[in-house]
């Protein structure tokens, strides 16, 4: 499952992110990488305890909670506090897989889903595509500022080298109530169909009630809470 969420942040919110991040001091991105990723990672990152990281992270988490597409697709149990990275000319992140477990203080997160929230207009830089591999091949993702891409954290992925400009983004992980990507994808498809049918036939339609019951029973069967 690879999902694009358009306009997770409004233009004014993106502008606020850019302003706050521009005033901060960036550090070598390898400080948060595992042993394998550190060899592949060439970027800059905002320290996790930077005031802007906490402030902007809370704004992003609030936007995620209000976004029905993210909630339906991710079925999040918890979301890792957003981090922020920057790729300048010549920087890249070679092919890697994210760590399965992340720690936010004493809280452990299983990284079922990874997310990148783009904070730079695509016209302002060349390269920098997020390239995600799955059974259907490679998917190159380069979105408008304020848009988010969500994909399985188990996927091989990389960030293509920047050849002009600078690419800024927020990135984070979600632990889903549904561990299996296949089961989560089925529930997402079913929920999308239910929402579309609700508009056409109304909530009281017997077949729609049956489908809604099926969705909730599958969620009850598969969820870990």
* pLDDT for the residue 29: 85
Asked if the model's pLDDT at residue 202 lies above 90, the reply is: no
pTM for this prediction: 0.92
- Asked if 141 and 130 touch (Cβ cutoff 8 Å), the reply is yes
- The per-residue pLDDT for 37 is 62
Tell which wins on pLDDT, 118 or 33: 118
Topology, domain 3-176: Jelly Rolls (2.60.120)
Q: What is the pLDDT of residue 40?
A: 80
Centroid of chain to Cα 34:
19
- Lowest mean per-residue pLDDT among 65-74, 95-104, 125-134: 95-104
- Residue-level pLDDT at 38: 64
Q: CATH 2.60.120.620 spans which residues of the chain?
A: 3-176
CATH number of 181-222: 4.10.860
SS (H, E, C) the chain: CCEEECCCCCHHHHHHHHHHHHCCCCEEHHHHCCHHHHHHEECEECCCCCHHHHHHHHHHHHHHHHCHHHHHHHCEEEECCCEEEEEECCCEEEEECCCCEEEECCEEEECCEEEEEECCCHHHEEECCEEEEECCEEEEECCCCCCEEEEECCCCEEECCEEEEEEEEEEEEEEECCCCHHHHHHHHHHHHHHHHHHHHHCCCCHHHHHHHHHHHHHHHHHCCC
Summarize pLDDT for 135-171 with one digit per residue, the tens: 889 999 999 999 999 999 999 999 999 999 999 999 9
Residues of the chain with CATH 4.10.860: 181-222
pLDDT at position 177, please?
Answer: 98
The pLDDT value recorded for residue 217 is 98
Give the residue among 167, 174, 220, 180 at the shortest CA–CA distance from 45.
167
Angstrom distance (rounded) from CA 58 to CA 127: 29
Cα separation, 104 vs 59, in Å, equals 17
Quote the pLDDT of residue 135: 85
Could you give the CA distance from residue 129 to residue 92 in angstroms, rounded to a whole number? Answer: 10
């Amino acid at each position: 499952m690879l999902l694009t969420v358009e306009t997770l942040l409004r233009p004014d919110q993106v502008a606020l992110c850019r302003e706050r991040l521009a005033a901060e001091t960036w550090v070598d991105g390898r400080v948060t990488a595992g042993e394998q990723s550190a060899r592949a990672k060439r970027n800059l990152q905002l320290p996790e305890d930077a005031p802007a990281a906490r402030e902007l992270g809370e704004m992003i988490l609030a936007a995620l909670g209000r976004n029905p597409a993210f909630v339906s697709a991710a079925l999040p149990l918890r979301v890792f506090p957003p981090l922020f990275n920057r790729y300048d000319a010549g920087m890249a992140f070679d092919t890697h897989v994210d760590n399965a477990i992340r720690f936010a203080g004493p809280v452990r997160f299983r990284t079922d889903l990874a997310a990148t929230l783009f904070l730079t207009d695509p016209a302002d830089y060349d390269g920098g595509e997020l390239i995600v591999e799955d059974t259907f091949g490679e998917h190159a993702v380069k979105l408008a500022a304020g848009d988010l891409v969500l994909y399985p954290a188990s996927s091989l992925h990389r960030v293509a080298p920047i050849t002009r400009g600078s690419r800024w983004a927020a990135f984070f992980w979600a632990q889903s109530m549904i561990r299996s990507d296949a089961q989560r994808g089925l529930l997402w498809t079913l929920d999308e169909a239910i929402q579309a049918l609700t508009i056409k036939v109304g909530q009281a339609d017997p077949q729609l009630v049956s489908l809604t019951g099926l969705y909730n029973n599958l969620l009850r069967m598969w969820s870990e809470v």
